[in-house]
Chain A
Amino acid sequence: MDFELVRLAVPTLAKGLWLTAVLTVTSIVIGFNLGLALAVMRLSKNTALSSFAKSYSTVFRGTPLLVQLFLFYYGLGQLSFVRDNPMLWWIVGDGAHCAVMALALNTAAYTSEILRGGLMSIPGGLVEAAQACGMSRFLRFRRITFPLAIRQALPAYGNELVLVVKGTSLASTITVLEITGHAKRLMSQTYAILEIFAIAGVLYLLINLVLITLVRLLEAHLTRYLPR
């Protein structure tokens, strides 16, 4: 291992780490809320709503994230009504904004499937009991359905979070300099392929480790009523 090189590469890649973290957190926050809305829509009795949610998840899960990203970044930028609308242009015109949008829309599709499983696993009796207590629809969702569904869905959602972290690397293909973007640049400048891969890889593993630990802690917190 060339230590001079490591001293050069670590600070550069650490700069990318910050952007990777920002991309991850922003897309997870947007994607989770969107996914929750889609999961509720999917389970609604209104056929228009549920079939919209179903086709949304089919399309976003059936096509590669890279295609979605390129379609938004290069494709939408071409359309004149997007160019003329300042709000849309703010999203599409900037690589990082566009990456967040693509990632959020993509993870929303997977999140909706995961949460749907959680929502469907709730025993009907619990909801009936809450109804009998006179809880309103919203209160019922907030106090009974959602907490139980999220507890059920958490392990699967942890996997999805790892996929989002890995997905952020695609932002490097639309000129965003996060970890992979910096790594690729350094690889072609220094030819120290393995060293740079190792450093970048460790950074990703660290982020994933932190996320998984947080999910485990949350899971332990939510199941603290269980005997150990």
Chain B
Amino acid sequence: MELGLWQVWDGGWISAILRGAAITVALGVTSMAFGIVIGVACGLMKWARLFPLTLVVDVYTSIVRGVPELLIIYLLFFSSVEFVAQVAAAFGYEGLAGHGYAFTIAVVAIAAISGAYSTEVVRGALAAIPAEHIEAARALGIPGRRIFRRIIAPQMLRIAVPGMNNVWQTTIKDTALVSVVGLQELMRAAFVGAGSTRHPFIFYLIAAVVYLAITLVSQGGFDWIERLLRPRTRK
């Protein structure tokens, strides 16, 4: 068969692709989790205008959002690969620098990218909270930390969900880029399969379908979260 569907089935590629998909999702979720932490911290700094920190955050977000993701991945990977290999070798783990290392550096890269976009989402969400709410809370004498916990954080969370959905969708798609530095995720599994069976069309098509399934399922998940957080007016 010209397309090579049989080779995909017979060569055990289905399980390789599923394993790759699992790594893709794990990578996406881990990076997004770190990205949200970065985003909330940096978004708060920008919103509160803590002078020198705001400047640092501004530089970080402008560089990451203006430079291609692929270039950032190359920077982080190439600048660390020598160093990590040497350290691993010094401790007698020549081969070990491969797998765990690729995943770690991939998380660092994707989290840095996703964090920059999350920062803007969080800042926007904070700016959308009516200032009167905070004023009212202050007037009632509620301490600052509790104002954040009871008034700012819940509203920020709700307003930020659609923006975070967008960030998540781009994050999961950005994970495909780390295949260029050799992490065995979904895209890499398709690449290897395409190379060794010489049937690239079917392998990349399968990869596209799996990515589409991931993004569609998570879209459904975000719709559900949005419904859950929608404010209920009292009857």
A76 within 8 A of B: yes
Q: Contact between A71 and B211 (Cβ–Cβ < 8 Å)?
A: no
B215 CB contacts on chain A under 8 angstroms: 61-63
A180 to B67, CA, bound (A): 10
Q: Is the CB of B201 within 8 A of A67?
A: no
Give the size category of B's interface with A: 35 or more
In the complex, whether B194 has a CB less than 8 A from a CB of chain A is yes
Task: List 11 interface pairs A-B (beta carbons < 8 Å), by A numbering.
Answer: A61-B169, A64-B176, A68-B208, A74-B204, A77-B200, A80-B2, A165-B68, A170-B177, A172-B70, A184-B74, A205-B66
Known: A78-B199, A169-B68, A208-B66. A70 touches B191 (CB 8 A): yes
Mostly, the B contact residues are: helix
Q: In the complex, what residue of chain B is closest to A76 when comparing beta carbons?
A: B201
B164 near A: Cβ within 8 Å? Answer: no
Residue contact B71 to A183, C-beta cutoff 8 Å:
yes
A-B contact count (CB 8 A): 119
Q: Which residues of chain A from 190 to 207 have any CB-CB distance to chain B below 8 Å in the complex? A: 191, 193-194, 197, 200-201, 204-205
Question: Chain B nearest CB: distance from A218 CB in Å?
Answer: 20
Identify the B interface with A (CB < 8 A): 2, 62-63, 65-71, 74-75, 78-79, 82, 169, 173-177, 179-180, 187, 190-191, 194, 198-205, 207-208, 211-212, 215-216
**For chain A residues 153-175, which have a beta carbon within 8 Å of chain B?**
162, 165-170, 172-173
* A window 100-142: CB within 8 A of B: none
Measured between alpha carbons, how far is A184 from B82 in the docked complex, in Å?
16
Interface assignment of A21: CB less than 8 Å from any CB of chain B: no
Cβ of A75 within 8 Å of any chain B Cβ, yes or no, is: yes
Q: Is B66 a contact partner of A64 (Cβ separation < 8 A)?
A: no
Contact yes or no, A66 B177, CB < 8 A = yes
In the complex, what distance in Å separates the CA atom of A191 from the CA atom of B77?
12
A85 at interface by CB-CB < 8 Å:
no
Q: Which residues of A contact B (CB under 8 A)?
A: 58-59, 61-68, 70-71, 74-80, 162, 165-170, 172-173, 180, 183-184, 187-188, 191, 193-194, 197, 200-201, 204-205, 208
Partner of A204, one of B66, B211, B212: B66
Taken together as a complex, chains A and B put the C-alpha atoms of A165 and B69 apart, in Å, by 11
Chain B's closest residue to A169 (CB) is B68
Inside 8 A of A75's CB, which chain B residues have their CB?
A: 194, 200-205
Interface pair A169/B70, CB less than 8 Å apart: yes
Q: How far is the CA of A61 from the CA of B172 in the complex (A)?
A: 12
Q: Which of A162, A167, A204 contacts B71 (CB 8 A)?
A: A204
Q: A64-B187, A78-B199 are in contact. Are A201 and B71 (CB under 8 A)?
A: yes
